[in-house]
Amino acid sequence: MRRENTKMAPISIKRILISESVDPCCKNILQENGIQVTEKQNMSKDDLIAEIKDYDGLVVRSATKVTADVIKAAGNLKIIGRAGTGVDNVDVDAATIKGIIVMNTPSGNTISAAELTCTLLMSLSRNVPQAAMSMKAGNWDRKKFMGTELYGKILGIVGLGRIGKEVATRMQSFGMKTIGYDPITPPEVTATWGVEQMSLEQLWPQCDYITVHTPLMPSTAGLLNDTSFAKCKKGVKVVNCARGGIIDEDALLRALESRQCGGAGLDVFVEEPPKNRALVNHPNVISCPHLGASTKEAQARCGQDIALQIVDMVMGKSLVGAVNAQVLASTFTPESHQWIKLGESIGAALKSCTTSKQPFSQVQIITQGDCLKDSSAYMTSAVMVGLLRDGSQSCPNLVNSLTLAKESGVTVTRNHSEGLTQGACEVEISVNGSSYRATGSVQGGVPVLLELNSSVFRQPVSLTGNLLFFKAVASPPLLPSVTGLLATAGVEMESFSAPAARSGDQWYCVGLSSLLGDLGALKPLVKAAAQVSV
């Protein structure tokens, strides 16, 4: 499945490591699109740390633990692709700080996970696994496995995303009433597929069955606990095919022992495989070894999806499934690349012009014009890339620049001004009580600087190559003196941009064949000088 490269590729991925058993179509698609693929399974943490340094990308399922140590060792890594939904096994924060995209396949295992949830709900209602094991033991206990119908019962669905929706529509066909809770999906949306939303406090007492479909995060850890079980109907049955820990396992065991909970279907556990077998061995618990995505169809879909998502990103077509790099989603047009270049260049130019050695504390970015209405996010990140780039081990990019700024104590604000026909970006930074400001635009596909510290240039400065900025009082000898100094240093003047104003201190810009070795020679001629290569 080869994709055509029709646009500029924002990210270069040449080598990918697949560290787990992923459907063969994943490797085939990546290779067909010019990406080298190595498959190495069952690596220890130390093996992965030693191996990962040679790759631009890593594809995993759920077993590989991509920890901060692994990410630290990954000198070239640009993307971590999770062939599945959750990213619990990836240290997303560590990846973000290093500017690495973390991507999952949000819909690859939706149907399989929903079907397993429905299977567990039905098995709980009719004791199917227990009856099957009894038969294998040579018994015929019809009375022992008396069940209940699903028809007319109330199913509470906590988490109404893709999987929650599919569970709802399937269980409605059994005649179940579906109610639910979700802090994101609007009630009017879930109402269209037959789920009445309500608060958890309202939901707990109504349910005959409860199934959870949320990510595992601080707000969902232990969502079903002693307190919430006490609010439920006596004998409520629960299912967890999402993430271990959403249901408090100790509280669940207590609820089962007291018969407050009548049964549980568990596909996931806090520790996998679980060493504490109390839950697994309980007679009213049906358990599976994390089989939610374990179907041929889901594995093929996830493998294909992650490969195509990576290829589409590399080819500059689109960005799907990025959990930490939403800012990149609107950067897949040729026009956006020029604006990104403008933002980075303005940031670099402003940083070079700050005379103080103190770090900047505040940055304000204002995008202007209808063409940048939806671009302020990536423009802000691009400006911060230019401001933060200093040649150290920290490598700012669009993914991590705002995180790095926050860690450095820099306050970043952004605004957008509509109504202007021509797009522009204005940046102001504060350093040690002083402010520096620049305004730029893109003209004819080229990023240009229009204004620097209140000096409006007669002709826009092309933000390419080696640029020398200096502040001086306009005078006839100024240009010949600067030209002579450059000639003495063996540097050619390739362009010259003068301010429109002809009085007072003004900023000038000179395009150079190479950067000056020493700006000190300019001191007798100018009040301030800076140079940058963009």
Give CA–CA dist 410/227, Å, rounded. 42
Please confirm, yes or no, whether 290 is among the known catalytic residues. Answer: yes
Beta bridge partners of 157: 180, 211
456: number of Cβ within 10 Å: 14
Residues 531 and 493 sit within 8 Å (Cβ to Cβ): no
Question: How long, in residues, is the chain?
Answer: 534
Please confirm, yes or no, whether 272 is among the known catalytic residues. Answer: yes
Give CA–CA dist 210/246, Å, rounded. 12
Sheet holding 455-462, edge to edge: 411-417, 362-368, 424-431, 434-443, 446-452, 455-462
Residues 467 and 349 sit within 8 Å (Cβ to Cβ): yes
User: What 3-state class would DSSP assign to 406?
Assistant: helix
User: What 3-state class would DSSP assign to 326?
Assistant: helix
Active-site option among 61, 82, 282, 290: 290
Residue 55 region by backbone torsions, left for phi larger than 0, else alpha for psi between -120 and 50, else beta: beta
Ranges of beta strands (E only) in 260-333 are 261-266, 285-287
Which of 271, 290, 272, 309 is closest to 113 using CA atoms?
Answer: 290
Please confirm, yes or no, whether 277 is among the known catalytic residues. Answer: no
Rg (CA), the chain: 30
Question: What value, to the nearest 5°, has the Cα angle with vertex 105 and ends 99 and 108?
Answer: 175
Give CA–CA dist 204/198, Å, rounded. 10
Tokens representing 215? 């990510």
Active-site option among 213, 243, 282, 337: 243
Active-site option among 271, 272, 418, 492: 272
Find the Cα–Cα–Cα–Cα dihedral 386, 389, 391, 397, rounded to 10°: -100
Which of 529, 489, 530, 484 is closest to 513 using CA atoms?
Answer: 489
Looking at the annotation, which residues are catalytic?
243, 272, 290
